[in-house]
Every structure is written in structure tokens, then in C-alpha cells.
């Protein structure tokens, strides 16, 4: 019995990746989506229809409304004008009426206060969804306060409460396992993604290593407080480095899933667009799929048939076992640099704790790992960008950086970028 379980486990993981050829043809196309968004159902400042309208109007094909510890279901009313932080105002209610009509808005007065009833996901779906063009996928951001572990549960059907006052790895493990159980019970595909590992007290890279089933994390999140590019004082690695450490250690141990990187907005602020606000349109994924359904999008993501972007569009990504090729949809007058990252089999897997000025390990910090993890194997300005493996790489992935600054970045000076998923040789 034990042998059978081990064989199944190995089969499960060894089926995950090998050669691939991602490009739009034969009925497959790229679908653009954002899976991390907030509305008035939790701490976003817009009604759900205002949020969804933005994405619908800006060429997105799918969207996950992922409010904190809640599904957009049941009855929820918001008072105005006296509401939390002025998030719902009479002007904003008028704007909703202008776009959707007077009949759309459900208002009530109780004890002299006006209320607006929030639209549920089924109501929002009925209004916005178009087959093959626009899809809403139910989601929840399972949000532990302490530790600050936030996990996106995509295509969730029943709310999952967070657990608090445990270790980061325990909170992460609980969210991943609970959603997987729900998915199996209902026979509905779902996925979990670790959101913004560098937010607040952070999620150390060792927590990701302790949860080998975790298959997705945010390499990019558009919220201003998430330290995508690391935080030296707190001992938080840049998200690219987190990714490389996890890929290297899991490949070396052979004990985990391939970690895929997503880009998201984590939108909270819909009315003021500026650096420092948590705006729409900063980070997304492009998923290559033969159809636009929650099942097909999630299946494609679990195969790694997608890339993350903050502005760069890719035509194709292919891997034949020994060569990785990235075709960029180049914009006129914009230059592109592609960096191929990877770790060689003989890397030093040891790590050291980060020591603070007081001579003690920094609480919550990730450990420090070898520079040989996530080496730049090749940097090129060619298009297509091609990396020929020499056979000792554990994985290869590409980051494509344009010369164009993002229009409304999470951090000033950020350049439009895309991240491919890792390719694993010899599988
Ligand atoms: Zn969060
Ligand atoms: Zn969020």
C-alpha cells in the first residue's frame, strides 16, 4: 500500500511538465485575466459592478473577485454617505445609476440612513459574462491576520475561513489542503496561489518549501505595500529570488510541484489612480486555452500554459527539452532584454539565517542561500530570445524586460515586464 501511494505521488508530480509549445493556433488563444481583486464586499472602494466594468472595458477576458474571507453571495448592504472611509458616496451611487440604470440600484432607508445592497456574484455574472469573451471566476482571498498569510482560492465554491496564531507554513498548508479537499469533494477544479509573500510580516521562503503542494505564487502584485522587489531590512528576498530558491530546492529534493508565477493587481482603489494607490491594470496573466471556462483556465494554469505580465506581450514560449525560445510581440520603438534564469545541478543547497544588528536571527526573515541559485544563464536583446541548455540546469525560466516604463506602476520607474513559467529539462 505504501509503495502504491509513493508511486502515485511520483506520477502526480512527474506528469507536470516537459516540452511545451505555447502559441495561439489550432483553436487555442491567449486569454487575459486578473485573479486578485477587491470590492465593497471587503475593503475595495468600489461596488463589484464598478470593478468588473473596468476590467470588461479594458480588454480582459476573465476576472476573479477575491474579497477577504468572503464570497460575493448572500445579502450585504452598505450605508452611505456615512460609510467606512467614505468608500460609498452619493456621487458614486449616481455613477452606478448612470451606467446601469436606476432600476439596477437597490436602495433602502433605515433609521434615517441610506443603504445600497451589493450585487451578488450571480447577478454580476448575468450582466457581464459573454461566452468566449468575458468570464467571472469565483474567488476568495483566505486572509490570516497573524501571520500575514494571504492565499487566493480560485473557483472556490464554499467560503474557507483563515486560521490565525499559527506559523506561516501552517496557515499556508491549511489553506492549500482545505481548498484541495473542497475541490475533490465537489469534483470541481480549483487552485490556490500564495499572494504577496513580502507583505507585512511576510512569508519566508522556507514556508513555501514546507508546503510542496503549493503550485502558484504572486511574482508580481500591484499593491503598493507588497515589496515585490524585496526588503533588505526585513530579510525579504525579491519575488524572483523566492521563485528561484523554491524551484531549485524542490527540483533538488524531487519533493514538490513546479512553482508557477502569477501577476495580479490586488485592486482596492478604483477612483484615484496614482503610485501609492492599489489600482487596476498593473499586473495580469495571459493563459493559453482552447476555451474560456473556469475549468479550462485552471487546467491550463496547472500545466504552466500561461505567463505573467505588467505590459510585455509574448507571442510564443516553447521548450523542446534542450532549448527555450521566447517570441515577443514587439512594440514600435521599444527595446526588450530577455534574461534566462536557472540553477545548475551542482549548486550549494545550504542556507544561513539572516542575522540582525543585535547578532540574532531576524524574525520572519527568509534564510540566505547561495548566489548560484537563479543565475543569469543568458541575457539577450534578440527576438525571439533563445537559450540553449547545456544539460546541467535544474530549470530555466525567462524574464522579458522592456525599455518602456509602466504608466501607473506599483513602484516608480518600473519597466514593463513579462515572466514565463519555468521549463524543466529531462522530464
Ligand atoms: Zn492580501
Ligand atoms: Zn488582496
Secondary element (H or E) of residue 127: helix 121-128
Q: What is the pLDDT confidence band of residue 3, given thresholds at 50, 70 and 90?
A: very low
Residue 177 grid coordinates: 489542503
Comparing 333 with 17, the larger pLDDT belongs to: 333
Tell me, in angstroms, the distance from the centre of ligand 1 to residue 104's CA.
30
Measure the CA–CA gap between 239 and 223, rounded to whole angstroms: 14
Question: From ligand 1's centre to the CA of 143, what distance in Å?
Answer: 7
Within 134-204, where are the H helices? Answer: 168-186
Centre of ligand 2 from the C-alpha of residue 183, in Å: 22
Q: In this structure, which residues have their CB less than 5 angstroms from ion ligand 2?
A: 141, 266
**Phi, psi for residue 118 in degrees, rounded to 5:** -75, 145
Binned at pLDDT 50, 70 and 90, residue 162 comes out as very high
**Number of CB atoms found within 10 A of residue 232's CB:** 10
Asked if 288 and 396 count as a contact pair (C-beta separation under 8 A), the reply is: no
For 85-117, the pLDDT digits (tens) are 678 988 999 999 999 999 999 999 988 888 999
Half-sphere exposure of 88 (CA within 13 A, CB side): 26
User: How far is 82 from 134, CA to CA, in rounded Å?
Assistant: 34
Q: Render pLDDT for 335-368 as a digit per residue (tens, 0 to 9).
A: 999 999 999 999 999 999 999 999 999 999 999 9
For residue 42, pLDDT beyond 60: yes
Average pLDDT over residues 4-27: 64
Helix, strand counts (H, E) of the chain: 8, 22
C-alpha 386 – ligand 2 centre gap (Å): 35
**Cα–Cα distance between 298 and 216 in angstroms, integer?**
11
Mean pLDDT (whole number) for 312-330: 97
Which ligand is located closest to the Cα atom of residue 65? 2
Instruction: Delineate the domains of the chain, giving CATH numbers in brackets.
Output: 17-74+136-419 (3.20.20.140)
Residues contacting 1, CB < 8 A, separation 6+: none
Q: Are 308 and 283 in contact (CB under 8 A)?
A: yes
Nearest C-alpha neighbor of 194 from the set 174, 165, 215: 215
Residue 1 — pLDDT band, cuts 50, 70, 90? very low
> Does pLDDT of 14 surpass 50?
no
Distance 196 CA to ligand 1 centre (A): 7
CA of residue 192 to ligand 1 center, whole Å: 13
Q: How far is CA 378 from CA 145, 313, 385, 390, in A?
A: 40, 20, 10, 12
**229-264 pLDDT, tens digit each:** 999 999 999 999 999 999 999 999 998 899 999 999
Average pLDDT over residues 182-208: 98
Going by C-beta distance under 8 Å and a sequence separation of 6 or more, which residues neighbour residue 213?
176, 177, 180, 256, 257
Task: Say how far apart CA 418 and CA 427 lie, in whole Å.
Answer: 25
**Per-residue confidence (pLDDT) for residue 113, from 0 to 100:** 87
Confidence tier at 2 by pLDDT (50, 70, 90): very low
Asked if omega into 107 is within 30° of 0 (cis), the reply is no
- Residue 13: Cβ within 10 Å count: 18
Ligand located closest to 196 CA:
1
> How many residues make up the chain in this entry?
427
Give the pLDDT band (50/70/90) at residue 82: low
Average pLDDT over residues 159-168: 97
Q: What share of the chain in percent tops pLDDT 70?
A: 95
Please tell me the predicted confidence (pLDDT) of residue 80. Answer: 83
Q: Ligand 2 centroid vs 249 CA: distance in angstroms?
A: 28
User: Residue 320: is its pLDDT beyond 90?
Assistant: yes
Q: How far is the CA of 281 from the centre of ligand 2 (A)?
A: 14
For the four alpha carbons of 219, 224, 225 and 231, in that order, the dihedral sign comes to positive
Count of C-beta atoms within a 10 Å radius of residue 174: 20
pLDDT(84) > 80: no
State the residue for C-alpha cell 508546503.
211
Average pLDDT of the chain, as a whole number: 94
At 406 the pLDDT is 98
Q: How far is the CA of 195 from the centre of ligand 1 (A)?
A: 6
Placement of cell 477544479 in the chain: 189
The answer, yes or no, to whether residue 298 has pLDDT greater than 50, is yes
Share of the chain above pLDDT 90, in %: 89
What distance in Å separates the CA atoms of residue 249 and residue 263, rounded to the nearest whole number?
Answer: 23
Tell me how far the alpha carbon of residue 5 lies from the centroid of ligand 2, in angstroms. 36
For residue 306, pLDDT over 60 is answered with: yes
CA of 334 to the centre of ligand 1 (A): 33
DSSP three-state, residue 344: strand
The more confidently predicted of residues 26 and 323 is 323
Of 265, 279, 281, 286, give the one whose Cα is nearest residue 329.
286
Amino acid at each position: 500500500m505504501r509503495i502504491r501511494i509513493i508511486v502515485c505521488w511520483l506520477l502526480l508530480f512527474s506528469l507536470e511538465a516537459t516540452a511545451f509549445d505555447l502559441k495561439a493556433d489550432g483553436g487555442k488563444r491567449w486569454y487575459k485575466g486578473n485573479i486578485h481583486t477587491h470590492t465593497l464586499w471587503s475593503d475595495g472602494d468600489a461596488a463589484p459592478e464598478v470593478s468588473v466594468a473596468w476590467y470588461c472595458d479594458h480588454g480582459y477576458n476573465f476576472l476573479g473577485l477575491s474579497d477577504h474571507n468572503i464570497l460575493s453571495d448572500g445579502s450585504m448592504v452598505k450605508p452611505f454617505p456615512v460609510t467606512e472611509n467614505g468608500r460609498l458616496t452619493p456621487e458614486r451611487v449616481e455613477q452606478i445609476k448612470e451606467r446601469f440604470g436606476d432600476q439596477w440600484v437597490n436602495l433602502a432607508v433605515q433609521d434615517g440612513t441610506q443603504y445600497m445592497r451589493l450585487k451578488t456574484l450571480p447577478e454580476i455574472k448575468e450582466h457581464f459574462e459573454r461566452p468566449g469573451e468575458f468570464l467571472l471566476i469565483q474567488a476568495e482571498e483566505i486572509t490570516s491576520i497573524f501571520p500575514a498569510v494571504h492565499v487566493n482560492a480560485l473557483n472556490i465554491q464554499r467560503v474557507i475561513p483563515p486560521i490565525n496564531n499559527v506559523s506561516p507554513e501552517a496557515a499556508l498548508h491549511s489553506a492549500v489542503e482545505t481548498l484541495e479537499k473542497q475541490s475533490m469533494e465537489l469534483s470541481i477544479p480549483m487552485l490556490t496561489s500564495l499572494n504577496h509573500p513580502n507583505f507585512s510580516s511576510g512569508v519566508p521562503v522556507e514556508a513555501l518549501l514546507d508546503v510542496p503542494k503549493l503550485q502558484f505564487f504572486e511574482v508580481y502584485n500591484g499593491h503598493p505595500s507588497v515589496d515585490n522587489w524585496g526588503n533588505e531590512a526585513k530579510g525579504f528576498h525579491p519575488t524572483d529570488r523566492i521563485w528561484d530558491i523554491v524551484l531549485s530546492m524542490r527540483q533538488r529534493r524531487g519533493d514538490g510541484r513546479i512553482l508557477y508565477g502569477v501577476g495580479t493587481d490586488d485592486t482596492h482603489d478604483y477612483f484615484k489612480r496614482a503610485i501609492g494607490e492599489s489600482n487596476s491594470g498593473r499586473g495580469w496573466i495571459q493563459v493559453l486555452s482552447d476555451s474560456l471556462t473556469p475549468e479550462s483556465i485552471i487546467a491550463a494554469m496547472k500545466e504552466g500554459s500561461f505567463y505573467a505580465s505588467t505590459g510585455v506581450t509574448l507571442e510564443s514560449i516553447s521548450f523542446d527539452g534542450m532549448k527555450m525560445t521566447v517570441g515577443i510581440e514587439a512594440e514600435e520603438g521599444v527595446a526588450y532584454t530577455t534574461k534566462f534564469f536557472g540553477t545548475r545541478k551542482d549548486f550549494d543547497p545550504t542556507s544561513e539565517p539572516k542575522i540582525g544588528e543585535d547578532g540574532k536571527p531576524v524574525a520572519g526573515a527568509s534564510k540566505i542561500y547561495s548566489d548560484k541559485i537563479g543565475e543569469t544563464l543568458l541575457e539577450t536583446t534578440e527576438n525571439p530570445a533563445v537559450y540553449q541548455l547545456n544539460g546541467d540546469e535544474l530549470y530555466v525560466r525567462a524574464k522579458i524586460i522592456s525599455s518602456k516604463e509602466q504608466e501607473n506602476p506599483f513602484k516608480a520607474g518600473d519597466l514593463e515586464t513579462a515572466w514565463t513559467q519555468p521549463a524543466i529539462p529531462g522530464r
